[in-house]
Amino acid sequence: MRVRVLYLLVVTGILLFTIVSVAPVSAPVPIEELAYDDGTYENAVFYIFAGEQVAVRFSLPAGWTTAKILQAKYYLWAGVDDLVAPFRVHIYDSDLTTDLTTPFIATPTTNDTWFVVDLTGLDIIVSNDFYIGIQWLTHGSPWLMVDEDPPIDLRSYALIIPNYPNWVLVEGGDAMIRAVVEQVLVPSAPEFNLSIPVVTSVVAAIYIALRKRIGKNIE
Ligand SMILES: [Ca+2]
């Protein structure tokens, strides 16, 4: 009986060793900042009325099928009013209509630089293009800066009420909104090789030795 128990323990050890030894090593999850501006502004969206919006369309990096949106980044300026007023954050699906999360108000804490909105806790998962938008709550503030250097990526849209009640493409520049995304990797099924033909460890060596002893006992 003692030999059988010992045999069982050793076999269990071998299986665990095998599973651990073939388990895939987890690689760092890729994170990328999606940007269509060059980081310097030449113009701005300003004197916008409350309720109006600007949004930028983002595409996932090549080879990515799914991603989690970690941050929305807005390059804002206080402008002549010396005020960087709160605004409403919109994350839209690829139809530029469906909210991927309930719109919420963000209060900028910076001026003339990137204001980062943390989205990690909202668990926004996308598998297609998406939009990040700003909806003004205060007339004229904040200013959203615009990159007018070529190339113009034609990804910026504006909803200017009442002149343009539908979204229109902004052709003169790239609104300075960026997205930080993390790739969502679909785990592949681990491949276990349970045939252990080669003695590659101390445990395996003990196993072989015990098999010999057990064989002798049986004989
Ligand atoms: Ca520029």
pLDDT in tens, 85-94: 999 999 999 9
Angstrom distance (rounded) from CA 57 to CA 129 = 7
> Average pLDDT for residues 2-6, to the nearest whole number?
53
pTM of the model: 0.75
- Look up residue 138 and give its DSSP letter: B
Residue 107 C-alpha to ligand 1 middle, in angstroms?
Answer: 25
Mean pLDDT for the chain overall: 83
CA of 82 to the centre of ligand 1 (A): 23
Q: From ligand 1's centre to the CA of 42, what distance in Å?
A: 6
* pLDDT tens per residue, range 104-158: 999 999 999 999 999 999 999 999 999 999 999 999 999 999 999 999 999 999 9
CA 121–ligand 1 middle distance (angstroms): 32
Pairing of strands 177-183, 31-34: antiparallel
| pLDDT confidence bin for 34, thresholds 50/70/90 | very high
Strand partners, 99: 92
Q: Domains in the chain, start-ordered, CATH in brackets?
A: 2-23+198-218 (no CATH), 31-183 (2.60.120)
Q: Where are the alpha helices (DSSP H) in the chain?
A: 2-22, 202-218
Q: Is the peptide bond before 103 cis (omega within 30 degrees of 0)?
A: no
